[in-house]
């Protein structure tokens, strides 16, 4: 994401999103095919439905038009983080402590490219997962950390 866009967008829309009863889970700006997309991912304790995404979209669209944080045309997408969500920030990890997660690794560790277990939290720069015993993995070794919905 271009430096500054995420912070500018968050600062502009967060009061409105909060006032509507939601929190911002994530903001991404990316190219999908030939098009650019600004995706605002919202969350709340009751879950997110299409009506929630539409309500937030209608509320923040004029704010973004006014501040014009991105040069050129882009699509505004408002979505739910879903049940199986990527955990990219310390806030994401802390919020999902106790959840079942999969940590995909850049390179094999003890012959495995992923660790699946209960997320115990952060210790310094490492993610701690209970995979039949406590495993501490430096965040720099994790290519992707996601919650899992399925049960064994």
Q: What domains, with CATH codes, occur in the chain? A: 5-79 (3.30.300.70), 90-147 (2.30.30.180)
Distance in angstroms (rounded) separating the CA atoms of residues 20 and 57: 11
Which pLDDT score is estimated for 3?
53
Kindly report, residue by residue over 33-67, the tens digit of the pLDDT.
999 999 999 999 898 999 999 999 999 999 999 99
Kindly report, residue by residue over 85-138, the tens digit of the pLDDT.
999 999 999 999 999 999 999 999 989 999 999 999 999 999 999 999 999 999
Q: DSSP 3-state assignment of 106?
A: strand
SS (H, E, C) 19-54: HCCCEEEEEEEEEECCEEEEEEEEECCCCCCHHHHH
Query: Considering the entire predicted model, what is its pTM?
Result: 0.80
Indicate the pLDDT class of residue 150, thresholds 50, 70 and 90: low
């Amino acid at each position: 994401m271009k430096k500054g866009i995420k912070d500018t967008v968050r600062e502009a829309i967060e009061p409105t999103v909060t006032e509507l009863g939601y929190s911002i889970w994530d903001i991404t700006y990316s190219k999908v095919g030939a098009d650019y997309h600004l995706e605002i991912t919202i969350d709340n304790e009751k879950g997110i439905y299409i009506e929630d995404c539409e309500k937030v979209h209608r509320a923040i669209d004029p704010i973004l038009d006014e501040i014009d944080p991105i040069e050129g045309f882009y699509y505004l997408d408002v979505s739910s983080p879903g049940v199986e969500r990527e955990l990219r920030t310390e806030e994401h990890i802390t919020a999902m402590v106790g959840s079942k997660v999969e940590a995909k690794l850049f390179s094999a560790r003890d012959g495995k490219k992923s660790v699946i277990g209960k997320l115990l939290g952060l210790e310094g720069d490492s993610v701690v997962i209970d995979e039949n015993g406590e495993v501490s993995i430096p965040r720099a070794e994790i290519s992707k950390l996601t919650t899992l919905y399925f049960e064994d």
